[in-house]
Structure 1
Amino acid sequence: MRVSNEHSGDGNRLPPFRGTVDWAWAEAQAEAEFAAQRVRLRHRLQDRDYPYPRVIQQLANLITGNFD
């Protein structure tokens, strides 16, 4: 997430004073975005169409040096 001091017309909240950043709001916004990403990732991990267990096992084999 990019924190900007510039006003944008897309409904973003303005900082309290020009040239400052409302860090509490920026942190809350970032946490909300990360939470949404975690939900999407959890959903994808439960998707039966993608072979996650096989991919994870292949990565584990690469990390341990087992190239079978």
Structure 2
Amino acid sequence: MELLQIISDHVAIFLVALVVSLAALLFLANKFMRSDSAQGASERNSSDQSPAAVAFRKQLKEINLDLDKN
């Protein structure tokens, strides 16, 4: 009976450690992915400053305004 309780305690400790390590891994992966996407957004913004890109954005804003009027 005592052996069963020891095994049960060890399994519970293992499961808690597994859940905590999985949560930490997911948190770090999420943080890593957000930093990559933020870096990509800043690179994309610097490369989109061409006159053609600015004119295209202006046309998109006008189209959106026209759609809102209807």
State the TM-score, normalized to the length of structure 1.
Answer: 0.51
Paired position in structure 1 for 2:58: 57
Larger RCO: 1 or 2 (CA < 8 Å, sep 6+):
1
Give the percent of matched residue pairs that are identical in Structure 1 and Structure 2: 11
Alignment-mate amino acid for residue 55 of structure 1: F
Q: Distance in 2 between matches of 1:39 and 1:57?
A: 20
Paired position in structure 2 for 1:27: 30
Q: Distance in 1 between matches of 2:28 and 2:37?
A: 14
Give, in angstroms, the shift of residue 45 of structure 1: 2.2
Unaligned runs of 5+ in 2: 1-17
Paired position in structure 2 for 1:9: none
Q: Runs (4+) of structure 1 moved beyond 4 Å? A: none
- RMSD, aligned α-carbons: 2.5
Unaligned runs of 5+ in 1: 1-16
State the TM-score, normalized to the length of structure 2.
Answer: 0.50
How do 1:1-68 and structure 2 match up within 5 A? Answer: 20=22, 22-46=25-49, 48=50, 51-65=52-66
Q: Distance in 2 between matches of 1:40 and 1:62?
A: 26
Tell which structure's C-alpha radius of gyration is larger. Answer: 2
